[in-house]
C-alpha cells in the first residue's frame, strides 16, 4: 500500500520556506551577516509561499488545496533558481546583473552621497560572507529550495493505493 503524498507535500510547502527564512533572518540579525540585494531577491518567493501553503490547510476542496501546494512549490523553486544564479555570481561562473551597492538618490550632493555610503553596509553580491564546505548561503538555498520543490511535486503527484 502506497500512502498519499499530499499531506506531506503540504507540510513541506509550509515548513521549508519558514525554516529557510528563519535561517536567513537569524544569520542577519543574530549572526551579523548583512544581506546583499540578491539575498533579498531569494527571500521574496519564500515570503509569498508561506501564506499560499498555509491557505492550503484551510480550503475545503482537495483540488484547490493541491493547486495551492503546487503554487507554493513553484514559488520555492523560483527562490532556488535565484539561489543558483546568485551562487554562480559568487563563484564567478558569470557576472551578476546588479552592482550590489547602495543606490544613490537623485539630487544628493557629493557629501550627502559619501555620508549615505558610510552609514549603510556595503555588501557585494559576488563575495560570499559565509561558507560551509565551500557552499555559500545562496548555494544552500538553491540546494534546499530546489530539492524541497522537487519533493513537493513528487509527493503531491503520489496518490494513495490500497
Taking phi over 0 as left and psi of -120 to 50 as alpha, with beta for the rest, 92 belongs to left
What is the rounded CA–CA span in Å between residue 96 and residue 109? Answer: 28
Dihedral over Cα of 129, 133, 134, 136: its sign: negative
Contact 65, 22 (CB under 8 A): no
Q: Is the pLDDT of residue 140 over 50?
A: yes
Three-state DSSP at 11 gives helix
Of 94, 91, 71, 97, residue with least CA distance to 153: 71
Tell me, what's the pLDDT at 91? 87
Of 105, 42, 108, residue with least CA distance to 75: 42
- Under the banding of pLDDT at 50, 70 and 90, the label for residue 102 is very low
Tell me, what's the pLDDT at 53? 96
Of 85, 79, 89, 87, residue with least CA distance to 42: 79
Tell me, what's the pLDDT at 162? 42
- Under the banding of pLDDT at 50, 70 and 90, the label for residue 152 is very high
- Under the banding of pLDDT at 50, 70 and 90, the label for residue 113 is low
Residue 133 pairs in a beta bridge with: none
Tens of pLDDT, residue by residue over 16-67, are 999 999 999 999 899 888 888 888 889 999 999 999 999 999 998 888 989 9
Structural domain spans, the chain: 6-96+111-157
DSSP-assigned letter for residue 120:
S
The cell numbers describing 73, all together, are 512549490
Amino acid at each position: 500500500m502506497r500512502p498519499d503524498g499530499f499531506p506531506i507535500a503540504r507540510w513541506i510547502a509550509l515548513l521549508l520556506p519558514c525554516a529557510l527564512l528563519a535561517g536567513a533572518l537569524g544569520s542577519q540579525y543574530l549572526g551579523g551577516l548583512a544581506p546583499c540585494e540578491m539575498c533579498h531577491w531569494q527571500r521574496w518567493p519564500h515570503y509569498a509561499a508561506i501564506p499560499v501553503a498555509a491557505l492550503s490547510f484551510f480550503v475545503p476542496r482537495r483540488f484547490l488545496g493541491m493547486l495551492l501546494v503546487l503554487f507554493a512549490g513553484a514559488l520555492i523553486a523560483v527562490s532556488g533558481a535565484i539561489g543558483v544564479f546568485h551562487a554562480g555570481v559568487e563563484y564567478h561562473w558569470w557576472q551578476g546583473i546588479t552592482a550590489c551597492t547602495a543606490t544613490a538618490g537623485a539630487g544628493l550632493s557629493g557629501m550627502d552621497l559619501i555620508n549615505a555610503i558610510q552609514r549603510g553596509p556595503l555588501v557585494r553580491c559576488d563575495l560570499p560572507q559565509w561558507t560551509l564546505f565551500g557552499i555559500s548561503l545562496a548555494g544552500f538555498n538553491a540546494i534546499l529550495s530546489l530539492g524541497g520543490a522537487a519533493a513537493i511535486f513528487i509527493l503531491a503527484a503520489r496518490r494513495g493505493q490500497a
